[in-house]
Structure 1
Amino acid sequence: MTILAGVFSRGSLAQIPDSICESLRKNISRDPNDRPIEFRDTHAFLIKVDIGAFDRPAHRVAPTGSIAILAGEPLLTCHGPTGVERDAHLAYLQSKWDEGDLQALRSASGTFCAAYYNAAKGIGYLVADRLGLRTLYYCVLDDFVYFATALRILEAIPEVPKVLDILAVAEATGFGYPFGGGTAYADIKMLMPCEVLALEQGVVTASRYFNWEAIEPIRCTQEEAMSKTYGLFVSAVRRRLRSDKTTFAYLSGGLDSRCVVAALRSEGARAYTFNFSLANTQDQAFALAYAEKSGTIHHELPTEPGPNWSAVMADTWRSWPGRHQQMPEHPSLAWTGEGGSVGLGHVYISPEIVAHLRSGDMDGAIDIYLRQQSKTILTRILEPELGAQLHGHLHARLLKELREIRCADPVRAFYIFLNLNGPRRHLVNHFDTIDQHRLEFQVPFYDSELLEYLTALPADPCLYHQFYVKWLALFDPAVRAVPWQTYPGHVPSPIPIPQDLPDQWRAPASADHRTRLEHELMTRSAAMLSCENFPSCVLRKVNLQAMRWACKLGLGNYSYALKAALAYYHYWNIAGGRYQLPPAVASGRQAKLGHLD
């Protein structure tokens, strides 16, 4: 199964209206060829769509009468399931859930989410994987619990209130994503990593079946750590590959996708590889060179920055004649190197951050992190009182998040925060548009067993890809025979890099592409600023007008500010002008919930 949605009733007298079921049917997929499968009784409605990526749709009615539906695959590592396929894993989990046992999820290493309903016991569960990668949104409102794997589905249900959460959008534009389980809407949340939302006899509770901060540190030599990490990585690839003989994968000029492809090739798999970088860059050249060394069937399509990369792969893969040489057993499963640089390369933790954390100066560490990653809320575009209130918010909120991760080692706490937040938010667009591009990802670097071990290792030897680059010695020599693109300041490739090849951070988009983007931004921002429904209680129009004119006349580049304003405006329109202010701002006004008449 690929997309799931539904609604639970919280009360014995509250029956689910036909209108809600019809909204879910209408909006679960935008592909007119999809034929949803559904289950309904007076207190539950579950609906799902499957694109066929994993052979068999994962939905099951147990002898007990309970029903379970699954998106993705759990990839259990325990001995209970009767087979390696996800149907067997779902059957095992469902049998445990029938007994009220959620701890079987502890052995799930894959990317998945699930919904479970037991009418006889009046129980419903919503389940997230250990990293929360497979998004599942929910809204608890009055007599009902609504849920869906794509935010657009809940947006389309009239009964689900859309109230703009200004603080969450400020975090999204300034930090990259809202903290915790927040979304752009006050009443819609995202399941957190390891979280189970349970409905029992009308009462909704949340619990975690695994605690990342409870992982005990490991003492071992670096050679032992590299060997164990390599073994876990290969196991993660094997669990996902199973008996497949042919695959296809993204291949960039960096290390993460290279290691994934190397592991596939070491398992004897035929690999079609694809590169979508700009022409004449390190990314393109090194991908091609490694493909030739490792023997993949390689295809490159120079692509301007910023598209939906899932859609680019889907369109290219399905139109490429070369795939018919030998069709993969699972032609809708694409392999990616997502997560390697964060989990193994510790890319966002610098020695300066570590030094401040080790000395007990968490405030200083946060300041450095926010500065190094250019994370800030643009208060100049906001209504003055609101902007003043949000000054320093990212620092305060990140401090709160880190303090809630109770690790003796503050560096490990920082590492856990990065792994449990950025990755799941980074995949949101992939899963929100999966009904259109119709590709599932295999992401072995996000294997929970692998990341659990990496979390137990000391962070210091892993900084700046130090451990990662040494770890490469365990792979086929072809991995190190070709230069790779490195993050600025990280351990460089030992093979010289041609000076005429820019990396991905310095390679400019084409002039035509930049012109198109600028024209689109000017058009959209003009429409926003001239709209009668402009959110003047949130955005400061006079500043935005000045910034737009500065861009238009070439006096300054404020495109980043206009893009941030458009994010507020987008959700403002969906919310119909309803909004929720941060508490301190709201207390100075007549009502916390506002509405523009």
Structure 2
Amino acid sequence: MSIVAGVISDRWSQDFLLIKKEIAQHLSRNPTDVRHEYFDNHLYLCRVAIDCHREANWAENHLRFAMVLGHTLMSPSLTQDVNCLLQHNPENYPQLLADAQGTYCVLNYNKQQHIVNVFADTLAIRPFYYMQYKGGVIFSSCLRLFDKLSVKLTTNLAGVTEYAVVGYPLGNKTHYNEVHSLSPGEKLTFTTKGIQRSRYFRWADMPFNCLEDGHGILQLDRAFKQAVDLCLGDDIHAVSTLSGGLDSRVIVAELLKRGVQLECLNFSYQRSQDEVYAEAFAQLHDFPLHIVNVRDTQEQSIEQRLGCYWRATQYPFYQQVERPRLVWSGNGGSVCLGMVFCDDEILSACFKDDPVSVAKAYLKHQHAYIPKRMVKDGEMLQHQLEQNIVACLEQYSHLPLEKAFQLFLWENDQHQHIAPALEDLDKFRLDFHLPFYSKAVLSVMFALPVSSAVKHQLYMKWLNHTYSEALVTPWQTYPGHLTCPLKDHRLSALSKWQLTENVKNKLNLVNIGVKTLFDAKGDFYHRHYLGANCLLTALGLHSGESTLNVVKRMNKVLKPHH
């Protein structure tokens, strides 16, 4: 894995030379990281190698160079894959990547024609960002870099509010008007003349509603095992997350079947279902589980917490793992297989073929509301959010609406899911095996009717068919989905939806709100309402935590000089 950024231009003015210098300085926040630089008066490219895969992800000859962020998983070997890509022109990449099962971003540079081509995986799980600037193009695998460059950036209010209330910007937006993200299945072409965008792969063009449950389970099982094969390679030791739910449990069950020596980490609220159920599963199957209790499970993702805790100095097992900076993660299971963000109200709106009602029902399901009295133009921004969701759904107008909604989740929510962890790649030097995002696994789920997948129905049929050992101890379920049938005293543990905000977190939110009153970001809010909310929440006269959480999330990405 690497962090990469660069500029392509045919005029290297003082502006571009300064940006070139700033890229090298800020690409990694670790000053001792080696910067590998390429410069030919047309392209400047800087990369910092983070050796998670312990294989080369860069290949070069006199005609071109190629690199892979993440892993294409055309084969188990990253080095083999990148050398294969080097031997071909980018025109052949769609065919080469047709069997790629990984999450990746592929870059190719033609040294004679001065053309950069960038290819995203089918959901663009690996983030990549770009902007046009004074006739050139600036690009980076981390969004944080753009704020360090001598370029003017302005706040994209739609992107900021989407991030604040649903957790991610829709489409290829970021929270800057000038910067865009690579989209699922997209090919970008950068030249000294500008940017060309095209789609070399679209889920919307793939076969759908053509599988029944019986064949679907068999194909899903085959696809999942193939993904594990490709990820695992020759490793016989591994580290994985393990929550109280099913996604990481399925991965662990498959690795145990293969005789992999395994240790797991759990990050959870003390005596919650996440902790208690993970502990019960680990005890039954007799493998080490390290539990790290946290007070606020929403403050960081599990992947970000792993970067802090999974260190050689803390875990003796670390030295035995062949690739200790590669961790198995269940990301994608609950959304792509279990359809966790779909409920009866959303389905009803889909069957009525009413995209506006689908958007409203989804936002209701997510409790995704902009505080209209607090945020300036909040009502307009909420309406714009609904319309932006409708526009996403209408991209797939040839599909049944429930299928379009499935793709909306894949290509928006999942597209942004591990981006926060990868933003910190320079800090934590950690990457992930993500078998649920395998193209073959997703192909099966897209071929099945949505009615088979919702509420974890097909997921549970698959587990009962193949991983019955994963269902011997209790597991955490989502509200409205298939419940855990096991009767056990441990079922009394609190689910993550029952955990209440602690006093420390409430005071932290109030403190953020008060500080916002007196800084430039306060211009985005009605200060009198924000102040009253802080005061009444602090006195216990009003439960303003959810509103202040929106302020906290907006403040993370707002640029004060809007």
Structure 2 counterparts to residues 139-150 of structure 1, below 5 A = 139-150=131-142
Counterpart-to-counterpart distance in 2, 1:567 and 1:252? 25
Maintained 8 Å contact 2:8/2:192:
no
Structure 2 residue aligned with 1:521: 509
3-state SS of 2:208 partner: coil
Q: 1:319 to 1:302 in 2, by over 3 A?
A: farther
- 1:126-152 per-residue CA deviation (whole Å, 9 max, x = no partner) reads 222211111101111222211111111
- Which one-letter code corresponds to 1:263 in the other structure? E
Maintained 8 Å contact 1:214/1:407:
no
- Which one-letter code corresponds to 1:355 in the other structure? S
3-state SS of 1:301 partner: strand
Runs of 4+ in 1 over 6 A off after TM superposition: 12-16
Match of 2:111 among 119, 126, 144: 119
2:432 counterpart of 1:441: yes
Structure 2 residue aligned with 1:357: 350
Q: 1:280 to 1:566 in 2, by over 3 A?
A: closer
Q: 1:566 to 1:257 in 2, by over 3 A?
A: closer
Over the matched positions of the two proteins, sequence identity in percent amounts to 28
- Which one-letter code corresponds to 2:308 in the other structure? D
**How far is the alpha carbon of 1:322 from its aligned partner?**
4.8
Counterpart-to-counterpart distance in 2, 1:505 and 1:229? 29
Structure 2 residue aligned with 1:193: 184
TM-score, normalised via structure 2 length: 0.94
Structure 1 residue aligned with 2:369: 376
Match of 2:237 among 231, 241, 246: 246
Maintained 8 Å contact 2:349/2:358:
yes
Counterpart-to-counterpart distance in 2, 1:564 and 1:306? 13
Counterpart-to-counterpart distance in 1, 2:93 and 2:102? 19
Maintained 8 Å contact 1:110/1:447:
yes
Structure 2 residue aligned with 1:6: 6
**How far is the alpha carbon of 1:526 from its aligned partner?**
1.9
**How far is the alpha carbon of 1:285 from its aligned partner?**
1.6
3-state SS of 2:88 partner: helix
Q: 1:455 to 1:42 in 2, by over 3 A?
A: same
Counterpart-to-counterpart distance in 2, 1:534 and 1:225? 50
Maintained 8 Å contact 2:158/2:384:
no
Maintained 8 Å contact 2:374/2:530:
yes
TM-score, normalised via structure 1 length: 0.89
Maintained 8 Å contact 2:101/2:438:
yes
Maintained 8 Å contact 1:547/1:558:
yes
CA RMSD of superposed structures (Å): 2.2
Counterpart-to-counterpart distance in 1, 2:129 and 2:340? 29
Structure 2 counterparts to residues 451-462 of structure 1, below 5 A = 451-462=442-453
The size of the alignment, in residue pairs, is 559
**How far is the alpha carbon of 1:445 from its aligned partner?**
0.7
Q: 1:408 to 1:164 in 2, by over 3 A?
A: closer
Structure 2 residue aligned with 1:431: 422
Q: 1:168 to 1:99 in 2, by over 3 A?
A: closer
Maintained 8 Å contact 1:197/1:206:
yes
2:99 counterpart of 1:110: no
Gaps of 5+ in 2: none
Structure 2 residue aligned with 1:367: 360
Structure 2 counterparts to residues 69-218 of structure 1, below 5 A = 69-76=67-74, 84-97=76-89, 101-158=93-150, 160-200=151-191, 202-218=193-209
2:465 counterpart of 1:474: yes
**How far is the alpha carbon of 1:243 from its aligned partner?**
0.9
3-state SS of 1:55 partner: coil
- 1:470-496 per-residue CA deviation (whole Å, 9 max, x = no partner) reads 111233432111111100121111211
**How far is the alpha carbon of 1:185 from its aligned partner?**
0.7
Counterpart-to-counterpart distance in 1, 2:549 and 2:507? 13
Structure 2 residue aligned with 1:293: 284
**How far is the alpha carbon of 1:112 from its aligned partner?**
1.6
Maintained 8 Å contact 2:57/2:79:
yes
Counterpart-to-counterpart distance in 1, 2:293 and 2:313? 14
Maintained 8 Å contact 1:333/1:439:
yes
**How far is the alpha carbon of 1:501 from its aligned partner?**
1.3
- Which one-letter code corresponds to 2:496 in the other structure? Q
Q: 1:219 to 1:296 in 2, by over 3 A?
A: same
3-state SS of 1:276 partner: strand
Structure 2 counterparts to residues 499-518 of structure 1, below 5 A = 499-508=491-500, 514-518=502-506
3-state SS of 2:89 partner: helix
- Between 520-529 and 418-427, the greater mean CA deviation after superposition: 520-529
